[in-house]
Amino acid sequence: METFVQLDGDVRLWVCDEGRSDRSPLLLIMGANASALAWPPEFVEQLGRQHRVISYDHRDTGRSTWAFDEHPYAVADLAEDAVAVLDALGVARAHLVGMSLGGILVQLLLLDHPDRLLSATVLCSCALGVGAAATGDSSPRPDLPGPDPRLLALWEQMNEPRDRAAELEWRVEHWRILNGGVIDFDADDFRRLEERTIQHAGRYDNPAAHARADQRGLDRGAELARVSVPTLVIEAPEDPINPPPHAAYLAEVIGSARRVTIPGMGHALSSPVLEPVAAAILAHTADVDAAAPPGNWTRATRHR
């Protein structure tokens, strides 16, 4: 089922609701400047055998509203969007899976809305207050590695004007670097992904809105120690944005989190990693569901 969720003002989010409607909900939260179509269909299908799977396009991606220049927002607002999606679908609690920026948003939700989470899974991400989630202030931070210089150079071109063919080639090259250097890169596979993404959105430009969003409110890493929601951190050892030991550090600051490493994985959901990533998530959510009262996700609560 596809629908739209209306937020305050003139902003609406495109939402896809699929999988097992009789099973616990699982909300997928994608990374920066990426729509829900960045979750490969076969990956969503595998999760959908065990869950009701909900995904959505962030603001300024896909079929959701593109209006950052007229209505700017903060990264933290994107976390509240996830709550709005749950509210609109009548979901009281869900398993949350966040990749990259999505993992940062999941951490904010762990702190601000723990009652809405059955469990959390964070992959290819960093802890609040460090790396991509640093706020630029002078607070002391651990010495963790930054992104690959090749990515930094490519990101400088992110919002430069390009025609459709050049934009497609830029995106494929971006995925090539994100994929890391261990697992073979299938350029045709990622080109097809981006062609579907462009068709879904009805446009090929990239305003890089999330890169321009206000990062205030992300320096909250110290608060993660109080997280009690069952949390899984999936480590991608070849991740060129958040390389080791970012995942180990995140699991350590949460304290109660469990860490699983997917050998060879970079900052991309390439075909060889889909099965092990899905298996890790499903094992985590199955353990949580087995210990929870049946149907404890069905009573909707309204926060907005």
- Catalytic residue numbers read 100, 239, 267
Spell out the residues 6+ positions from residue 156 whose beta carbon is closer than 8 angstroms to its own: none
**Can you tell me whether residue 80 is helix, strand or coil?**
helix
d(C-alpha 187, C-alpha 204), whole Å: 18
Q: CA–CA separation, 138 vs 100, rounded Å?
A: 24
- What are the φ and ψ backbone dihedral angles of 15, each rounded to 5 degrees? -130, 140
Closest CA to 17 of 86, 106, 81, 63: 86
Report d(CA 7, CA 5) in Å as an integer: 6
Contact 51, 82 (CB under 8 A): no
